[in-house]
């Protein structure tokens, strides 16, 4: 351990040390002996030091946000490229599921399409996606009436029956959910213009809380809507 004498001798021989290292000088706590009160200089230094800490904290926060945004943009870019490479609805669904579980750390992913599969443009390799088509007159959709009536994604906790409908056996592990309308305009389940809904579930109840920002989720919904639209167009309208 370096003793005070060694430090003093070093500073004596290197008087320019604090000029070359102003950050260290700012952190020093040097009291000014003034009888009965704290000196004005000491108070000013203390105030400046606190302001410096606050500014540093704000800068660190901005840098952290910028890095998070860069990572988010990279992940979204990879998702878009993967969806563009898909040549069937089955591949779109698999690409979406893989990316959301991998890059975005989702615990559960479900897509429900309110379309008659007989009228959709499906490849023969459609065993997986057949399970995501649901009729609009399904009575279980009634519990989603208020949710699907929103123009934007909705986040928060769902009721158990809603979770079971969306996530099946994983329902009890899902503590928060993001529901993202796919295509269409504001509607109710009985006369819906949406082509479907994307549900993303998390084991963390704070992951998709009610006040979370939904801009990213809206963009995700737009991207997926565009990716699946060629496969869910009405055959009759194309003939």
Nearest Cα neighbor of 131 from 94, 78, 102 is 94
Nearest Cα neighbor of 109 from 179, 14, 44 is 179
- The average pLDDT across 210-220 equals 83
pLDDT of residue 95: 92
Q: What's the per-residue H, E or C state across the chain? A: CCCHHHHHHHHHHCCCHHHHCHHHHHHCCCCCCCCCCCCHHHHHHHHHHHHHHHHHHHHHHHHHHHHHHHHHHHHHHHHHHHHHHCCCHHHHHHHHHHHHHHCCCCCEEEEEECCCHHHCCCCCCCCCHHHHECCCCCHHHHHHHHHHCCCCCEEECCCHHHHHHHHHHHHHHCCEEEEEEECCCCCCHHHCCCCEEEEEEECCCCCCCCCCCCHHHHHHHHHHHHHHHHHHCCHHHHC
Q: Model confidence over 5-20: pLDDT tens digits?
A: 888 888 788 877 767 7
CATH topology of domain 88-238: Beta-Lactamase (3.30.450)
Domain boundaries, the chain: 1-85, 88-238
Strongest mean pLDDT among 15-29, 168-182, 186-200, 210-224: 168-182
Burial of 149 (0-12, 13-18, 19+ CB in 10 A): middle
pLDDT band per the 50, 70, 90 thresholds, residue 187: very low
Tokens of residue 121, six digits: 């443009």
Higher per-residue confidence, 190 vs 163: 163
Q: Is the pTM of this model over 0.75?
A: no
Has residue 200 got a pLDDT over 90?
A: yes
Higher per-residue confidence, 43 vs 215: 215
> Residue 197 forms beta bridges with which residues?
112, 181
Q: Reduce the DSSP state of residue 199 to 3 states and report it.
A: strand
Higher per-residue confidence, 21 vs 161: 161
User: Which region among 10-24, 149-163, 206-220 has the lowest average model confidence (pLDDT)?
Assistant: 10-24
Q: Reduce the DSSP state of residue 200 to 3 states and report it.
A: strand
pLDDT band per the 50, 70, 90 thresholds, residue 189: very low
d(CA 182, CA 197): 5
């Amino acid at each position: 351990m370096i003793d005070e004498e060694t430090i003093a001798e070093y500073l004596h021989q290197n008087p320019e040390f604090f000029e070359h290292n102003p950050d260290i000088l700012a952190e020093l706590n040097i009291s000014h002996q003034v009888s009965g009160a704290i000196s004005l200089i000491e108070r000013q230094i203390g105030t400046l030091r606190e302001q410096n800490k606050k500014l540093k904290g704000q800068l660190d926060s901005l840098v952290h946000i910028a890095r998070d945004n860069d990572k988010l943009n990279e992940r979204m870019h990879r998702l878009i490229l993967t969806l563009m490479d898909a040549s069937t609805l089955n591949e779109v669904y698999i690409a979406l599921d893989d990316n959301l579980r991998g890059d975005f750390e989702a615990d559960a992913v479900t897509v429900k399409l309110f379309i008659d599969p007989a009228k959709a443009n499906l490849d023969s390799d459609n065993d997986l996606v057949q399970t995501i088509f649901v009729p609009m007159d399904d009575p279980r959709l009634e519990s989603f009436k208020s949710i699907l009536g929103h123009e934007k994604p909705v986040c928060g906790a769902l009721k158990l029956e809603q979770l079971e409908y969306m996530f099946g056996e994983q329902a009890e592990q899902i503590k928060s959910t993001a529901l993202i309308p796919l295509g269409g305009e504001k509607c109710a389940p009985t006369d819906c213009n949406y082509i479907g809904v994307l549900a993303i579930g998390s084991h963390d109840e704070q992951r998709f809380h009610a006040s979370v920002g939904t801009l990213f989720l809206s963009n995700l919904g737009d991207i997926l809507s565009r990716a699946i639209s060629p496969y869910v167009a009405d055959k009759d309208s194309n003939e």
